[in-house]
Structure 1
Amino acid sequence: MLPWLLLLICALPCEPAGNPVSDVSLKTKPPGGWVMEGNKLVLICSVANTTENITYLWYRGALGLNLEKKTLPSITAEFEISEVKQSDVDQYYCAADNGHGPVPSELVNINVRVPVSRPVLTFVDTGTQAVLGDLVELHCKALRGSPPIFYQFYHENIILGNSSDPSGGGASFNFSLTAEHSGNFSCEASNGQGVQRSEVVALNLTGRQSEDPLRSPPQTVLQESNYHNSPDPGHPEPVYENVNAVSGDEVYSLVYHTQQELGPTAAQHVSTHGASESFQVSSGIYSKPRINIVYVDYEDTM
């Protein structure tokens, strides 16, 4: 009977000695689950004290994509990702099994930080040609880099201002353009993993020109007279000649005379009758609607 009993006992599944593993945990190096892109990430799985061989398993994601398996007589084991990429961002966990079944750890979030790339500085709306007095907007953006990103703006290596970008869309700085702002501009970007500076961009200034037509001097247009005085048989030469000068809506008549031929008896006067203005020279009267008369000494003009 004894051999039969021994055969029956050996045929039954034998439970391993001891208890299942406990206190399974997953830690990271660097700690906290934050790692820079391109750096090494180490996932460390550990259990409480044991003297048995333990099989360690590492998983990615809540669904458990198996990454690695190791059997060691140790309370800790490591799995390494030599160069972390942005695509490695996910949740990770490990499990330990000493023959009583795997016991999983809690999930750990792995976050990959990307260093900032060299930022690009642009002049919004105005471009690199601007007019004194314009409101200028500088925009600085790093095309790669994990937010938040801190930006600083420079004019000839002098800090103009700074701004923080929490979302990765870049930052702007506004200022009113003066003559002192001519020269080179640049910006810097940083997210705690080094500083990158943009290329230098030169800004050319031009003076503002008045666009107010009231500030422009009136242009005087000389026009040939539409009429001349008829020669008097008593004078060998014309006493005067009218020339119209137009400035805006006003018309001026220039009257030339010689003092020798115009005495007190040939007094000149101007009278207004309704909508017409008239003047008299000697015995002839000539009129033209709405004329402002300017007398010019003929001898002074010669």
Structure 2
Amino acid sequence: LQLHHSGRYRCQATMGLIPGWQKSALVTVVVQGVPVSGVSLAAQPPGGQVAEGDHLVLGCSVAAGTGPLSFSWHRQGSAAPLATGPRYELRAAQHWDGGRYHCTATDGDTTADSPPLWVTVL
């Protein structure tokens, strides 16, 4: 089920020799959203250790949450988000890119952060 399936429903049926449709009473179905939880961060290469000039990809995912979901990327010491979306890429990592990163996922109602990952640029 999805959130847009909430609404009022009824069943209709015909019964053999009895003419016409038989209708059930209306029932109301309310689909509730699942809060965002279990946010995790993965790095490629694994562990977040990369040589200077090499490519680093960080990915953010959730274990649960009713969409649509939005993602943002943060590095310790930076007030504004670095980027949005489920992926963050450093195409040519520099020494100043090192630090503690985390991603945030939100569904508009609930927000959750991943555990931090320490990125090391060698």
Percent of aligned pairs with the same amino acid? 18
Task: Give the match for residue 142 of structure 1.
Answer: 62
CA distance in 1 between counterparts of 2:42 and 2:58 reads: 6
Task: Give the match for residue 120 of structure 2.
Answer: 204
Preserved CA contact (<8 Å) 2:11 2:24 = no
Alignment of 1:1-302 (within 5 A): 33=6, 62=11, 104-105=25-26, 108-158=28-78, 159-163=81-85, 171-176=86-91, 177-206=93-122
Deviations 1:258-297 (A, max 9, x none): xxxxxxxxxxxxxxxxxxxxxxxxxxxxxxxxxxxxxxxx
SS of the counterpart of 2:120? Answer: strand
Report the TM-score when normalising by structure 2.
Answer: 0.71
Task: Give the match for residue 16 of structure 1.
Answer: none
CA distance in 1 between counterparts of 2:60 and 2:33 reads: 20
Rg larger in 1 or in 2? 1
CA distance in 2 between counterparts of 1:109 and 1:129 reads: 49
Structure 2 residues not aligned, in runs of 5+: 13-22
| Displacement after TM superposition at 1:127 (Å) | 3.0
Report the TM-score when normalising by structure 1.
Answer: 0.31
Preserved CA contact (<8 Å) 1:188 1:196 = yes
Which structure exhibits the higher relative contact order, with contacts defined as CA atoms closer than 8 Å and separated by 6 or more residues?
Answer: 2
Preserved CA contact (<8 Å) 1:33 1:111 = yes
| Displacement after TM superposition at 1:198 (Å) | 1.1
Output the amino acid matched with 2:90. Answer: F
| Displacement after TM superposition at 1:157 (Å) | 4.7
CA distance in 2 between counterparts of 1:113 and 1:121 reads: 23
Aligned length: 107
CA distance in 1 between counterparts of 2:87 and 2:48 reads: 16
The CA RMSD over aligned residues, in Å, is 3.1
**1:110–1:137 distance in 2 versus 1, CA, 3 Å:** same
Output the amino acid matched with 1:175. Answer: L
